[in-house]
Structure 1
């Protein structure tokens, strides 16, 4: 997807979803797109309801994470269904409460 189209899409979504766009986003299809473009991190959904994936940083200590997303290999060759990347190296996503799918990187 061309950067201009991505920007237009995000601006259109921002008026409907009431969120603010900051920084430059790189559209992607898989983690390898982010690695080869120099952005690093993983390819995850822009937000929970978006179908567009963008390059995002791996989770840092204390960041929110998805327990299921952290069970996928990194880098992952497919499309992630979650809007958070797995936790960074030597960290794990610990559920906030037993059985919860949302946790924090520790």
Structure 2
């Protein structure tokens, strides 16, 4: 895995995890009973983004480490997902 692939994998994991974590324990203006005029009742009152970003960073790092190990050791390959046998056969290097 190249350095670019590793960075892209971490970024994708981080953003996916962050988008999942944002609505957890979200307090809206409607929940708090203090809706500011001109805003929606579902607008966040307390979003706690800083702790969520920290937790997301740790969780994404753990997931990245597991996936990095799986990819670099070859535990799972593209051929494992070739359920319809469309990939060409693997050459053993003795062609010719």
Normalising by structure 2, we get a TM-score of: 0.29
More helix by share: 2
RCO higher in 1 or 2 (8 Å CA, sep ≥ 6)?
Answer: 2
Normalising by structure 1, we get a TM-score of: 0.27
